[in-house]
Structure 1
Amino acid sequence: MTTPYWVAGRPRTGTDVLEVRSPYDGALAGRTTTATLEDVEAAVAGAAGARAACAATPAHVRAAALDHVSRRLAERAEEVAALITAESGKPLKWARLEVARAVSTFRWGAEEARRWSGTLQRLDTDPAATGRMALVRRAPRGPVLGIAPFNFPLNLVAHKVAPAIAVGAPIVLKPAPATPMTALLLGEILAETDLPAGCWSVLPLSNDVAAQLVRDPRLPVVSFTGSVPVGWSIRESAPRKHVTLELGGNAAVVVGPDQGDEGSLAWAASRIATFAMYQAGQSCISVQRVFIHRDVAEALTERVVEAVQKLVTGDPTDDATDVGPLIDEQAACRVESWVEEAVVAGGRVLTGGTRDGAAYAPTVLTDVPAEAKVSCEEVFGPVVVLDPVDSVDEAFTRVNDSRFGLQAGVFTRDLQLAFRAARELEVGGVVIGDVPSFRADQMPYGGVKDSGTGREGVCAAMEDLTEERVLVLTGVDV
């Protein structure tokens, strides 16, 4: 069966067949077609034509549509999770969690759509404005081009679609070429709603066609999640557009000197091991760099290695599997070469360090030079680097010595240190008592420096997709 793509809310099929296969064993995950140029034009024209209708759609209609998507995803959760696993190689346990998060993301979208109102501002605080009042509301900037990555083929799509629908902005969605099937299933659910024609499209596209859409003036907003070079090239190629970028990171953890008791060590080791390796490390906030105060470094290192060695690797469809393959063998080969480079430079492999096709064994390194790629670039693989440090000052300096700044985690019970971390660490978010991989889908999420610009999290993204408009009322007795 060939799964259709979606043009202005209607199913269409092209001629160029796209087969999507599992990175684990090459099994067919699904078959669709690349959108034709005619259908791409129809989708963009439909979005531009629906701009006014979408913005004027009553809040209850938008909220009902988002509630419907949330409910249907929950009803079809096992089917959707199986599809995520089939096309991405993500272990089923993590795919189920992704579906649950998407259910919440669309629910948050529905709730925010109902709350999305203006604010009244009295202007008679100045004598010249006596009798005047301002109503400040936010209006959509216009149709959105949403470009999603492969690592969360449902929930990162949800973070494009839900905020756009919530504010009444049409969206043309381009899923990742490696994982389009889940987004197309989402299109099937969206087609069950009463949203205006042209409000949404889901188009499997080649990157060169996507580049043309980035420049298309009918899509004044671009929301991109993906690699750093591509993200900033989008920004440079569309300087007059509103561009939001959720890019890469090399997320750091700081373990304070007060973490030496057995309970603290066990918790930190478990969280570091799990979230350095989950999704085969293919998350922008996977734990990559760990700076451990020397007072607890030996004990924690031993426990992290033990915890990593207990992780189950293999068939992602097995409920017991913790770590599956990378998205393809090329990605695994790149990780392998980076680890080899680190070892040649003096790094030591404490566990892992081997590749089997698209799978790379969960790997713990130490004594790695700061200039090695596994330390200063984004590995996007199941590799973590452990570094003892002599002080928290040194740890914070090392965290900030990076061109990335997405999130960081600090294991400590010291309240003053927690607030200091929030002040001094150059990242978009600091998580105290846990790893930087924690993300609540309703909170603002995004980075600084090369990690991007703008914020996701449903309400934050809604603000990013809109701009303030002011209505001044005259002759009003306040």
Structure 2
Amino acid sequence: MNKILDRTAKKYLLINGEKVETANYAPLYSPYSREQIADIAMADATLTKQAITAAYEAKDIIGEMPAYQRAQILEDVVKILTDRAEEAATIISTESAKPIVFAKAEVARTIETYKFSAEEAKRIQGETIPFDAASGGVGRIGYTIKEPIGVIGAITPFNFPLNLVAHKVGPAIAAGNSIVLKPASQTPLSALFIAEVFEEAGLPAGVLNVVTGPGGVVGEAMVEDDRVKMVTFTGSPRVGIGISNKAGLKKTTLELGSNSALIIDKDVEIDEIIDRCVMGAFSNQGQVCISLQRVYVHEDRYEEFVEKFATATKQLKMGDPLDSETYISSLITPGELERTLGWIEETKQSNATILTGGEAQDGILEPTIITDADSCLKVSCQEVFAPIVVVNKIASVEEAVNLVNDSQFGLQAGIYTNNVKHALYASKKLEVGGVMINDVPTYRVDQMPYGGLKDSGTGREGIKYAVEEMTELKLIVWNQG
């Protein structure tokens, strides 16, 4: 911990297994205390190209490594990370202001993610094709194999700085690819930490390169370089669409955003779901891609839900992210606090009601519940990425589904109901990548397919599904003559 908070600590790029200095460094500040916690190397296009070269030269080393050896490296990462879990959680909490209780949960999930990656490394397989099913195929046999794609450019966000790195690095290595990783500018320490772990686990130099610096410089160089065969990005729709437009025929996986919704039917026991709704809306200050942002409650249960949800929300402790009792801490930057306060101010000018919160205390946004918000307000129709949730009344599940679908996003949604027909209707009609029956849309485990529709992006994460994205299918046909 002392090393992390050393104001003079310099963090370098990691290229081809070496720490590389840069001409420029930028101070990294704690989102909570605003104290400087490190100096971060700022890469330019030339150094990014150098990292791509290292990855390109290492792609055959990892690509030709037997599956059991790739799996063993990932298993060793699991062991090392398990031993250093407390350190990892402290790094996450310090650089992102994620409350330590959630940071520890992230580390536990990251360990599982690398476990799944080790397992999937041994499951990459093709299939045989019945060529004689066609008259022209008689006398031939064929099968498919999956080959690593090569160099992968990975651009990761701040909100899960260890686990969302794992969702790109784990399957990439499992599939036999090399990586150039560009972590979020506010949370580079977690990425540099896991790179150390991989080095200790025996990953060959050049397979994982970490390049910190401006996204417009580093990311641009990745997208434009023909040696990078795939870009996997998690972040804002604006940046993701820009990557897609410039990528050409390069593969992309883009997880871009959401304003996830929950439907609560009239037959639901409200007491049984309040804690899940609080977690869904306010864990990590609402800075979760599938954070619960919109709730549509049947009119028969609306008053009860709103009252109990507000009561539970008012109990949440705000403060230092390293305090084990803290549930809500600072947003990632002061600019994000200003933005969200501006959105709340817009809401105050409407007919909506600020039921709880709506203000900042010592630089921390209070967990905020808004009722009767029009769908055109920013807190309703855009991605708020803050501890703000909108609760509205509906007369039927059909009405709620239409309101959920009235969005540019479509990542995940949830419905609480004891009515099978309503559950089936929602699962069919909701325009999202994942529907959670009797749970909040914030639910995710790391082996499930994860991705969305509309402006929420393209492609799927989840280890098995990411491996599919990170491999090329090759067909082999034998003419038996």
Same fold, TM exceeding 0.5? yes
Matched AA of 2:152: V
Per-residue CA deviation, residues 281-323 of structure 1 (Å, 9 max, x unaligned), is: 1111110000001111111111110111111111111000111
- Partner Cα distance (1:4, 1:44) in 2: 16
Alignment match of 2:279 (pick from 265, 274, 283):
274
Cross-structure match for 1:183: 191
Cross-structure match for 2:153: 145
1:103 aligns with 2:111: yes
Matched AA of 1:4: Y
1:171 aligns with 2:179: yes
The 5 Å alignment of 1:73-84 reads 73-84=81-92
Alignment match of 1:214 (pick from 203, 209, 223):
223
Alignment match of 1:321 (pick from 322, 326, 351):
326
- Partner Cα distance (1:358, 1:65) in 2: 42
Contact 1:21–1:86, Cα closer than 8 Å, also in 2: no
Cross-structure match for 2:6: none
- Partner Cα distance (1:107, 1:402) in 2: 36
Instruction: After superposing the two structures, state which structure 1 stretch, 354-363 or 250-259, moved more.
Output: 354-363
Deviation at 1:197, TM superposition (A): 3.0
Contact 2:41–2:213, Cα closer than 8 Å, also in 1: no
Cross-structure match for 2:4: none
SS of residue in 1 equivalent to 2:330: coil
The 5 Å alignment of 1:51-200 reads 51-200=59-208
SS of residue in 2 equivalent to 1:220: strand
Alignment match of 1:230 (pick from 223, 228, 239):
239
C-alpha spacing 1:238/1:38, structure 2 compared with 1 (3 Å):
closer
Cross-structure match for 2:303: 298
Per-residue CA deviation, residues 103-126 of structure 1 (Å, 9 max, x unaligned), is: 000110000001112222222223
Alignment match of 2:463 (pick from 458, 461, 464):
458
Cross-structure match for 2:477: 472
SS of residue in 2 equivalent to 1:319: coil
Alignment match of 2:404 (pick from 399, 403, 406):
399
Contact 2:331–2:364, Cα closer than 8 Å, also in 1: yes
- Partner Cα distance (1:267, 1:218) in 2: 52
SS of residue in 2 equivalent to 1:151: coil
Matched AA of 1:140: P
- Partner Cα distance (1:372, 1:334) in 2: 14
Instruction: After superposing the two structures, state which structure 1 stretch, 22-31 or 378-387, moved more.
Output: 22-31
Contact 1:330–1:358, Cα closer than 8 Å, also in 2: no
Per-residue CA deviation, residues 125-168 of structure 1 (Å, 9 max, x unaligned), is: 23332232222122222211100001111000111100110111
Alignment match of 2:254 (pick from 240, 245, 250):
245
- Partner Cα distance (1:5, 1:189) in 2: 15
- Partner Cα distance (1:38, 1:406) in 2: 36
SS of residue in 1 equivalent to 2:383: coil
- Partner Cα distance (1:339, 1:296) in 2: 26
Alignment match of 1:11 (pick from 19, 35, 45):
19
1:430 aligns with 2:435: yes
Cross-structure match for 2:5: none
- Partner Cα distance (1:413, 1:381) in 2: 30
Deviation at 1:37, TM superposition (A): 4.7
SS of residue in 1 equivalent to 2:391: strand
- Quote the sequence identity (%): 41
Instruction: After superposing the two structures, state which structure 1 stretch, 216-225 or 83-92, moved more.
Output: 216-225
Deviation at 1:411, TM superposition (A): 0.5
Contact 2:44–2:217, Cα closer than 8 Å, also in 1: no
Matched AA of 1:172: V
- Partner Cα distance (2:316, 2:168) in 1: 32
Deviation at 1:33, TM superposition (A): 1.8
Contact 2:372–2:392, Cα closer than 8 Å, also in 1: yes
- Partner Cα distance (1:6, 1:88) in 2: 21
With normalisation by structure 1, the TM-score equals 0.96
Per-residue CA deviation, residues 203-225 of structure 1 (Å, 9 max, x unaligned), is: 10212322122111111211000
Instruction: After superposing the two structures, state which structure 1 stretch, 65-74 or 89-98, moved more.
Output: 65-74
Per-residue CA deviation, residues 391-447 of structure 1 (Å, 9 max, x unaligned), is: 111000000000000000100122222222111000000011110001010010001
Deviation at 1:198, TM superposition (A): 2.0
1:339 aligns with 2:348: no
1:379 aligns with 2:387: no
Alignment match of 2:452 (pick from 444, 447, 462):
447
Alignment match of 1:389 (pick from 365, 381, 394):
394
- Partner Cα distance (1:450, 1:51) in 2: 32
- Partner Cα distance (1:19, 1:73) in 2: 27
- Partner Cα distance (2:350, 2:298) in 1: 23
Matched AA of 2:441: P
SS of residue in 2 equivalent to 1:184: helix
